[in-house]
Amino acid sequence: MIKTPFGSKSTADEVLAGLDLSDRTVVVTGCSGGIGFETMRALSAKGARVIGIARSLNKAQNACLRTDTQATAVGCDQSDLQSVIHAADFISERFEKIDVIVANAGITGSKQATTRDGIEMQFLVNYLSHFLLVNKLLPKLPDKKGRVVIVSSSASKNQAPKEGIRFDDLDGHRDYSASKFYGQSKLALSIFAGELSRRLAPRGIVVNSLHPGAVRGTDLNRSIQFPVSLVLSIAELFFKTASQGAATQCLLAASPLVEGVSGQYWADCQITGGSKYLTDLVMAERLWRTSEELLVRKLNVGG
């Protein structure tokens, strides 16, 4: 198994040290803050042409301006799949190739289940919107060199339902828990990464998922309410910095140290153990099929 010289304290700049990425075009979702912004900033600093996606064009533009580079801003509300389609079409029309996709954006849920188009919001934003975006951009990824980086979480193992994906309760009507459904959305991302890796193997495109670690200063916990928010604010004193949190995804996006490595689950810049469901090929196939059905039948959009 591959081992890298980096670990939990490594920063995005450290894992990219010495690299010239001026020939790379990279898409980063959730670029407006936290590890998404740090990923965009670090890759841009090494010369990569970065396409930064945020919830609104204004947020994306402000983030891109902060990098002091020629990053391209794209507004995309990932709770609206038509917005995802428009963003993917814009990118496809403007760029001849995309070397790397970093699926980073994410939300946490509120105490009460929130749905759109009959789908629980965390599953929709964290997972299904990325399933759609990545699949629409796949024709732009070059064979043998393309990379897809899926930002999951340890919640995929520690918080997801014990049965894995609740295919019969994707709207949370039966038994909703914000933390459990967050874990389910992150499990779906890692399962998706594994299945996508298998499907893209003939093209030589690598796909990996990762846990960035507990990171302070992100927008992810904006929906968390008092008193949990108070406890979290104290705990954050011991969390990773945003640059440390972005290190693993930057490593997977650009480092030659991991070239050709695919279908793995990473944390702290090393391959690690994920959920037991990451090797469940039946669940992976069902998730893929269900995702396509949700897009085509319920939402009337193409995957």
Which residue numbers are catalytic? 176
Question: H or E stretch including 285?
Answer: helix 281-293
Gyration radius of the chain's alpha carbons: 18
**Entry field: residues in the chain:** 303
The dihedral region occupied by 34, where left means phi > 0, alpha psi between -120 and 50, and beta the remainder, is: left
Would you tell me how many other CB atoms lie within 10 Å of the CB of residue 178?
21
Q: Classify the C-alpha dihedral 14-58-182-100 as positive or negative.
A: negative
Closest C-alpha to 298, from 123, 181, 54? 123
- For residue 29, what is the enclosing H or E element? strand 25-29
CA gap 217, 240 in Å, rounded: 9
Give the DSSP letter of residue 71: P
